[in-house]
Chains A and B, each alone.
Chain A
Amino acid sequence: AQTVTQSQPEMSVQEAETVTLSCTYDTSESDYYLFWYKQPPSRQMILVIRQEAYKQQNATENRFSVNFQKAAKSFSLKISDSQLGDAAMYFCAYRSADAGGTSYGKLTFGQGTILTVHP
């Protein structure tokens, strides 16, 4: 079974600064997807960024980028030029890419990191 670990229960950043959220995972699979989801207080969870394991290039979405280290099973999220609206719980998640597997389609989440942005 896959596991996802976020070792930082809480992080804080000053507005306009950069912050990095950490995530590690454990799997025996070679093909999978990794995601970062954002869950603002009392609002729905939305996808921030995704990474396909077979792609070596790190994914980037505007101010959000990842550092994907497959051998180390590490997947960190960097938020540049932090904004007040970035304050939320951030979840790292894993999904198998093996369509024949019983767990295909299932997201396994980490425990989450609460990000506070100070003005």
Chain B
Amino acid sequence: DAMVIQNPRYQVTQFGKPVTLSCSQTLNHNVMYWYQQKSSQAPKLLFHYYDKDFNNEADTPDNFQSRRPNTSFCFLDIRSPGLGDAAMYLCATSRGWRAAGGRGYNEQFFGPGTRLTVL
């Protein structure tokens, strides 16, 4: 089945030790998103890629970076994790909208998330 896969499902890191979270998709979607979801809170968009175009949210800390080496994979790098970065990180994908002239609904499909613990 086509899907959005996140690895690992659980990640423990130490304060200040860089960590990378992985997302892959078999949906061949143009757009990949990274959300941060803290306990019992709404997901908050960090950034997204439209193909290779990177779009950062204005309030995303510089500590968070992302890479998308190809259509299928996208990585979230946290350069120096702090205790406040402990959260669930959700990856999502959607079809692009540019080819359709901009109009049209494109459902976002979510992965199961990676729960990050910072010690």
Interface set of A (CB-CB < 8 Å, partner B): 4, 33, 43-47, 50, 52, 89, 91, 97, 99-100, 104-107, 109-112, 114
Contact = CB atoms under 8 A, between A and B. Distances in A.
B105 A99 contact: no
A99 B97 contact: yes
A105 B97 CA distance: 9
A44 B110 contact: yes
A25 B102 CA distance: 23
Interface size class of B (residues with CB under 8 A): 20 to 34
A99 B98 CA distance: 8
A104 B102 contact: yes
A46 B110 contact: yes
Contact of A43 (B43, B94, B102, B112): B112
Interface in B86-119: 90, 94, 97-98, 101-103, 105-108, 110-113
Contact of B48 (A4, A97, A105): A105
